[in-house]
Structure formats: structure tokens, C-alpha cells
Structure 1
Amino acid sequence: MIALAVIAILSGAPQAQEAPVPPACVGATFVSWAACAQAATEGTPAYSLAMINLGTEAYVQGDLAAALRYYDKGEMPGQSMTSDLLFHTFRGDARRYGGRMDEARVDALIAWAFLSGRPPEGTPPDLVMPLNGELRFAVLSTILPILKEGDAEVFAQARQMYLALPAEDWLTLSQRAGALSSLGEHQEAAIASKAALALRPTDPLTQNNHCYTLVMAGRAAEGIGFCESAVSALPEMAPVRQSYATALAALGQCAEAEIQMAEARRLEPGGALYREPINCSPAG
């Protein structure tokens, strides 16, 4: 489903687009996007292309902080960038991760334009990828939380398309639980999360997600044990620490919650979510 080689169409600053492309960035001499970036001159289209592909590689590997850094380096002053559905989905999610919601919505709206059959004007046909249910589901799971605070009609159309798609296996159930939780539909999210957990009951990431979903549904006492298991298995993952902190805070264990959130910040200082203060009232 995921293509790592992103092609971008740049508009503006034509003199920059005429810069020669290094052999390391094309054809039989291409080795990697890292090698291309090293050979290219910063500020040229070749360098920009290398950066956005490195960003996509980092995103696919789950490193959103690195993805955002690469995507930012791929920006060229005086130029706008249009690429395919996945690029705008990934960059939008990375921008959301960094707390840059206005920019994230720009990408999410472009992704929605592809999904709704209205790609940006002038988009070359080779950037319009075939759409199937799996791709639609994955993209909508990512962009719906970004679209929620924007145009109400667009959000309603995207949500309707999303809920019409089936969720039956572990991946789609997990994605639906996360998306619905981000939309504030917590009880529905908990149902999907429980179904995902039934398919992978010992998987620490699934345990973490189920814990967080239950906390958001107001059922922290049910979820805390899943968070404890996830932290024990994955102590170096910031999202796991953040989920545990949220569960502890919901139960009034404020000092313990702050410790866990501080660890999440240490592990991923670039995550906007981890910079938010914890709302916690000490248990009586």
C-alpha cells in the first residue's frame, strides 16, 4: 500500500527548478535518498525531493519527529508542493504531531480531495493512485481527526465515507478505535478496541491502545492494568508512557502521572501531545 518514492510537483521559482540533478539522485546511479541528499545542493528540487522521501521513510518507520524535520527541510521558499495522496496524508499527520494544526489541515484537505475524486487542479495523472477500500480506510483514519475542526461539511462527508468501510481485522479495528477516540466518540472506540484486543491479547501496543481508549471513555479503572502491562513491555516508547500517565491522572494519582508524562517528554521532546499539561485532581 505504501510507496516510499514520492514524486513532488513544485511550482514557482523556475530558476531553482533548472538546477542540475546529481547522478546520485537518478537512474542506475541512485543508491538511497540519503545519498541523494548528500550529493544535492540545499535549496534545489533534487534536495527537496530527497528530503520528502526521507521524511516518508521515517514516517513509515513510526518516527514522526524525524519525518517532520525532513518534510520541513524539503520546503523550498517561494514554491508550493503538490504530491500524491500518501505524501499529504503522512505530512499532515506529522504536522499534527508537531502541533501545527493549520498546516496539517492544508495537507488533510488535499488528501481528502484525492479521496473524493477531485485532486488539485493540474495534478499529473501519475500522481493519482488507484483507490481501494484498504487505502481509503487507512487515509481516513489518519486525516479525520485533523479535519474535525475545519469545514463541517467536508468532515461530515469524510466521516460518512469512513464509517461505511468495514473494520474486521486487527489493523482496521485498531485504526478505527484510534480514529473514533480522536473524534471524541469514545464508547464506539472502546468497542472497536476491545475487538482488536481479542485478536492480539498479549500484544503490548494493542494493550496500550485499549488502555487509552478506555480512559477516554471514562473507564480508567478497567484500563490501568493494560497500561501497566504495556509499560512493562515497552518502557522506552513515549506514547505508552503518555497513555499510562493519562490513566493515572484519571484515577487521581497525580504525582505518578507527572512522572510518567515527564518520561514521555524525555523520550520524544518533539511531540506536541506530551507538552500539554495533565489535568489531574488528587484522589480523596
Structure 2
Amino acid sequence: MRRLLLALMLGALATPVWAQQDQPPLQCRYDASGRVDYQACLDASAPGTPWAMLSHINLGTRAFLNADHATAVRHYDAAQPGNGDTFYSDAEFHAYYAATLHQVGRLDDGVVQARRALAVMNADRSLPSSVRDRFSAVPVDRELVYAAILPVLHAAGDEQAEAVRVSYLQMPAVDWVSWANRAGVLQQIGDLRGALSASEQSLQLQPDHPAVLNNHCYILTLLGRANEALPYCERAVEAAPGIAGARHSLASAYAALGQCGNARVQLDEARRLDPESEDYRHDLACR
């Protein structure tokens, strides 16, 4: 069960090096506040051009950070070249894309993107030299990349999963975001005790954030402690009623407590909010 709330990963939107080499349409240029309206940029760009691809990447990332996986995967897919060429962008893009594909049930495609994220981040010799040169000076949040791709590689039993796990856990958790993401990652790879410990750390630092409350609720539910979990779920849904993951966690707690009607209502709402996520397609066992 995938549970990491990737909206906690506060990565910046992308401006790839290859896009900087072309003159953009007026709609794609920064405004006085230093922002770009990427929907307007997309509308003004011819399909397949660097600026259309850049717009799709940014719109996809924005949707991904808002847990809107249906929109994210649509834009990420559209950013790929239509001629079958291998597309390379920065490591964080490939990591986000990998996590999105995993969320919507396309694990094999997700592994391709996860491996690509690692290769770009590490300037792997298997990459074309032009790709290594292009991204060698692009800053990378390695913690973000590891957190996004580890559940993908783990789910696939990929040979690189263990090395990524070790590298990720060797990095210090520097703030509540780090601890919350670590809790979600550890939950996804089956280390529920480690997940609970990390979640307790994030809860101490940010006791009212809906993502933190949601993580804590779901981990406790998986540990068979639904009575303790329920108040955290209820607070998460109250704070963020439009987040499907919080609804699904609440449904899971209700189901574990035998409140089957309440569980069905919350699961149906999770499906309505996020119709593409594989997790929400499965009914919950209610005893």
C-alpha cells in the first residue's frame, strides 16, 4: 500500500537546461513576480516544442505535489517525445514521474523513470555524454529523489533498491518534512516500526499538519492500533477534506474498527477525489 504524501516534498518546478536554449513565447516568460503561467505557456506553444514539454512538466509537477495523480500522469506522459526517443530531464522530474506512475499502477514504467532519475543524479557513464554534461551543473535534492524512487524500486524487487535504501537512511532527517517523508517511505517498504518512529518525530515538530496526521493514522492502523489511529485520521480529514489519501486512511481505520458503512463512505470519496490511484480501487476488508 503506497502512503507517502509526496506533497510534502517541497521541490521547485523545473526549468530544464535544454529549454533555456530557445527563445520562449511571450506567455512563457517570467512575469514581474518571477512566475510563469504554464497553462498559458502551453496554450501558446506548438506541440512537441521544448516550451510545450516544459509546460507539461511543470503542470504535471504542480498536480503531483497536490496529489492530483490523474492530472500529473497526463501531463508527464505528454512531455515525452512522440518519436520514441529517450527523454532526459533533471533527476527530480524523473523521480516525480516514477512515483506518479507507481501510484496509478504502472510499476514497470515507474521503474524505468526511477532508474533514469538515479542515472542522471549520479552522472552514470551509461548516459550519453551530452546528457551528463547538460545536467552536471543542475542542483539535485538527493533526499527527495531517494524518497520518491525507493518505494518504486522496492515494489519491483529491483536490484538497486537496497543500495538506495541504505543511501537514503544514511542521510540525516533535517526537519519535519524529512521525518514525514521518511515515515511514508518506511511504511511503503514494510518497516512499520521504523515508520512509526519517524512519524512520531514529525508529529512532535508539526503536530497539526494534515499530512503528518494522515501518516500517523495510517501507520497506527497498519500496526493494528486503529483505536489510537482514528482521532489522527479525523483531524487530517477535517484539515484537508480534499486529499484522497486522508479519506482512504480514515476508511482504513473505520474498516479495522468494524464501522463498515463509514468506511465505504470514505473510500468512495477517496475514489471520487483520485480516480486514477490504484490503492483506492480495492475494497477494504471490514470485520
TMscore range, shorter length: 0.7 to 0.9
Q: Counterpart amino acid of 1:211?
A: C
Q: What CA distance in whole angstroms lies between the structure 2 residues aligned with 1:31 and 1:9?
A: 17
Is the 1:220–1:251 Cα contact (8 Å) retained in structure 2?
yes
User: Which residue of 1 is the match for residue 46 of structure 2?
Assistant: 41
TM-score norm. by structure 2 comes to: 0.83
Q: Which amino acid aligns with 1:5?
A: A
The equivalent position to 1:63 in structure 2, one of 59, 68, 91, is 68
Q: Percent identity?
A: 37
Structure 1 residue runs without a partner (length 5+)? 11-19
**Contact 2:206–2:212 (CA under 8 A) maintained in structure 1:** yes
Structure 2 match to 1:121:
128
1:162 aligns with 2:171: no
Shift of 1:28: 7.9
Deviation digits for residues 58-89 of structure 1, max 9, x if unmatched? 33444333221111222332232111111101
Per the alignment, residue 17 of structure 1 pairs with: none
1:253, CA displacement in angstroms?
A: 2.3
Alpha-carbon distance in structure 1 between the residues aligned to 2:87 and 2:273? 31
- Structure 2: distance between partners of 1:244 and 1:212: 8
Residue pairs, 1:77-156, within 5 angstroms: 77-78=82-83, 79-118=85-124, 120-122=127-129, 123-129=131-137, 135-150=141-156, 152-156=158-162
Aligned with 2:79 (options 59, 74, 82): 74
CA distance in 2, matches of 1:250, 1:33: 43
Figure out how many residues of one structure are paired with residues of the other and give that number.
270
**Equivalents in 2 of 1:93, 1:159: separation in Å?**
15
Instruction: Work out which structure has the larger RCO, using CA pairs closer than 8 Å and 6 or more positions apart in sequence.
Output: 2
Amino acid in structure 1 at the alignment position of 2:133: P
- SS of residue matched to 1:257: helix
Cα drift, residue 99 of structure 1:
1.4
Q: CA deviation at 1:192?
A: 0.8
Counterpart Cα distance in 1 of 2:227 and 2:110: 34
Closer/same/farther in 2, CA of residues 5 and 171 from structure 1, 3 Å limit: closer
* Aligned with residue 23 of structure 1, among 20, 25, 36: 25
Deviates more, 1:43-52 or 1:177-186: 43-52
- The yes-or-no answer on 1:278 pairing with 2:247 is no
Determine helix, strand or coil for the equivalent of 1:162.
Answer: helix
Letter in 1 for 2:135: L
5+ unaligned residues in a row in structure 2: which ranges? 1-9
Tell me the equivalent position of 1:2.
Answer: 11
Matched to 2:128, the amino acid is E
User: Which residue in 1 is equivalent to 2:4?
Assistant: none
